[in-house]
Amino acid sequence: MRNPNFFILGAPKCGTTSLAAWLAEHPNIFISPIKEPNFFNTDLNKHVISDWQQYLKLYNKATDEHIAVGEASTTYLYSREAARNIENSYPGSRYIVMVRNPVEMAYALHEQEVFAGHENILDFKRAWEMSPERRKGLMAPSSCTEPRWLDYQKVSALGEQLERLYNYIPRERILVLLLDDIKINPQSEYKKVLEFLGVPIIEKESYQIYNPSKRARWVGLSRFISVTEKYAYVIKRKFGISHIPTGILSYIKNLNRENRPRPVLSQEFKKLLIDYYKEDIIKLERLINRDLSFWFK
């Protein structure tokens, strides 16, 4: 077993699933078999693994051949405690942050939460307007364990979150990737990550996209699955049972999945979102020294 030395912190719906899958194919990189253990976000009620010994078991199969060992939990960037907790356990770790246009991210995250059965408001505009209530822990369905994750306004404010990370972690240990760049040239961005992690550069033949835009065929089924998972997790914690996926719920989720393009937002609502995020985007531009003016279109 080897200890983790790098973490993909997020953000959600920014390509983290695809990157984690690509890295897992590299012979010198070990990725946690549970993609999002969400162990270190102790200020959020959104965990898959919450026991230290269970967390360590995620790396049982990491060997000396694995130069880079890590995991990808998209709540860590939003969490105010995750990076500090990681540094306390694994000082000197490297961090990968993936970002995208916050307007697109908020919309995609809402779609994801509806599909996962954690969001009961199907209309994105209405859900967006309820962000202040969710921020207070209110107005969330019982299937959602962390109402603040439905605060699409703040969860998608990536400039603010990256600034907080930079204030705590030296910049040389942080790599920021834009989803826009990954879409244009995934090979170049993949190599950039390998160089950052200090592993041999290996060519990939293809770059499959994971976790694309999708919707639930039956929203009620998504909520049923979510509630079932919630209570199964509580029972497992009570009896000290490790996280052992049976595959049954995953099979049902796949049957309930329908991949399709996301409906276009109205120009009026899109402008409202752009105006809301304008200052945060400008902050992100300054932090990563990139022109992001195309996000305002």
Residue type present at position 280 = D
Q: Which structural domain range is residue 218 located in? A: 6-296
Residue 123 resides in a domain: yes
First to last CA, the chain: 48
pTM of the full structure: 0.86
Residue 1 resides in a domain: no
Residue 126 resides in a domain: yes
In this structure, the strands spanning 6-10 and 94-99 are parallel
Q: What residues contact residue 287 under an 8 Å CB cut-off, 6+ apart?
A: 159, 162, 163, 166, 176
Q: 234 pLDDT exceeds 60? A: no
Residue type present at position 293 = S
Residue 225 resides in a domain: yes
How many domains, the chain? 1
Helix (H) or strand (E) holding 257: strand 257-259
Residue 127 resides in a domain: yes
Residue 288 resides in a domain: yes
- Quick one: pLDDT at residue 95? 98
pLDDT tens digits, 109-128? 999 999 888 999 999 999 99
CATH number, position 151: 3.40.50.300
- Quick one: pLDDT at residue 218? 46
Residue 118 resides in a domain: yes
Average pLDDT, the chain: 89
pLDDT tens digits, 172-197? 999 999 999 999 999 999 999 999 99
pLDDT tens digits, 249-264? 565 656 656 666 778 9
Residue 208 resides in a domain: yes
- Quick one: pLDDT at residue 162? 98
pLDDT tens digits, 2-46? 999 999 999 999 999 999 999 999 999 999 999 899 999 999 999
Task: List the beta bridge partners of residue 257.
Answer: 216
